[in-house]
C-alpha cells in the first residue's frame, strides 16, 4: 500500500459533496444489494443482513477526489467485496465489476481492484451510518482509486467480461482511476 500524499492531491478539512444525477429518494424497506452477472449464484441482501453480518470490518483510509482534494484518515465500516461476493462464486471470465446505483449512476472497476483486500462495501463512515449525501445505505470504497469509483447509493455489483463506460468514463474519465498513477482521464 502506498503512503504519503498522492501526486496532484491536497488534503482538505471539509468534504465536497457531489451528486451527478441528483440525490435519490430511498426506502430502506425496499432497498437491497444484488450481486449479479458472471456469477454462479446471484445474491440479494437486505440492509439489515449486511450491517448485521459478522463479515463487517473497519478500514481507516484517505479518500481522494479526481479534482485534487483528499480527506485524510476516514474510518469506513463495511464488508470486504471479496467476502461479500464469495458465495456468489465469481466466474473466471469476469474481468470488470460494474457498480450500479439507485440514481442510475454506474462505475466500472477492474475485478482485481474491486476484490483487493482493502476494497469494501461501506455502510458507516466515522462511526455513523452513511448520510444520504454520502451515499446511504451503501457505497464501495476502493482506497487506491479516485472517489468517482466509490459509487453512492449502491444497489448492484455486476460482474462483466468486457469493459463498459460508466457515467464519468463516457465523459472522458479514465477506465481504472488509480490515484497513485494519476489515472484521471483517458489518453
The pLDDT assigned to 103 comes to 96
Q: Give the separation between CA 112 and CA 109, rounded to whole angstroms.
A: 8
Q: What is the pLDDT of residue 169?
A: 98
Q: How many Å apart are CA 37 and CA 97, to the nearest integer?
A: 9
Tell me the pairing of strands 120-125 and 128-129: antiparallel
Share of the chain above pLDDT 70, in %: 99
For residue 1, what pLDDT band results from cuts at 50, 70 and 90? low
Percent of the chain's residues with pLDDT above 90: 92
CA-nearest of 100, 176, 180 to 140 is: 100
Give 14-62 pLDDT, tens digit per residue.
998 888 888 898 999 999 999 999 999 999 999 999 999 999 999 999 9
Residue 76 in this model has a pLDDT that exceeds 90: yes
- Predicted TM-score (pTM) of the model is 0.95
Q: Closest Cα to residue 142, out of 121, 119, 115, 108?
A: 119
Q: State pLDDT tens for residues 130-171.
A: 999 999 999 999 999 999 999 999 999 999 999 999 999 999
Asked whether the predicted pLDDT for residue 3 surpasses 80, the reply is no
Mean pLDDT (the chain) is: 96
Closest CA to 159 of 13, 73, 39: 39
Q: What is the pLDDT of residues 91-106, one digit of tens each?
A: 999 999 999 999 999 9
Topology of domain 28-171 in CATH is Sulfite Oxidase; Chain A, domain 2 (3.90.420)
- pLDDT value of position 20: 84
Let me know: does 64 contact 146? Beta carbons within 8 Å: yes
Amino acid at each position: 500500500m502506498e503512503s504519503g500524499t498522492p501526486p496532484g492531491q491536497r488534503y482538505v478539512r471539509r468534504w465536497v459533496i457531489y451528486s451527478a444525477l441528483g440525490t435519490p429518494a430511498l426506502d430502506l424497506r425496499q432497498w437491497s444489494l444484488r450481486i449479479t452477472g458472471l456469477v454462479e449464484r446471484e445474491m440479494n441482501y437486505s440492509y439489515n443482513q449486511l450491517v448485521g453480518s459478522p463479515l463487517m470490518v473497519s478500514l481507516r483510509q484517505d479518500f481522494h477526489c479526481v479534482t485534487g482534494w483528499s480527506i485524510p484518515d476516514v474510518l469506513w465500516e463495511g464488508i470486504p467485496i471479496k467476502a461479500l461476493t464469495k458465495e456468489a462464486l465469481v466466474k473466471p471470465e469476469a474481468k470488470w465489476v460494474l457498480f450500479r446505483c439507485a440514481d442510475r449512476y454506474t462505475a466500472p472497476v477492474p475485478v482485481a481492484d474491486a476484490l483487493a483486500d482493502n476494497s469494501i462495501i461501506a455502510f458507516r463512515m466515522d462511526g455513523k451510518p452513511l448520510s444520504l449525501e454520502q451515499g446511504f445505505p451503501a457505497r464501495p470504497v476502493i482506497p487506491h482509486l479516485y472517489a468517482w469509483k466509490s459509487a453512492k447509493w449502491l444497489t448492484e455489483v455486476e460482474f462483466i467480461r468486457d469493459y463498459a463506460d460508466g457515467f464519468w468514463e463516457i465523459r472522458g474519465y479514465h477506465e481504472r482511476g488509480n490515484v497513485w498513477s494519476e489515472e484521471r482521464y483517458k489518453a
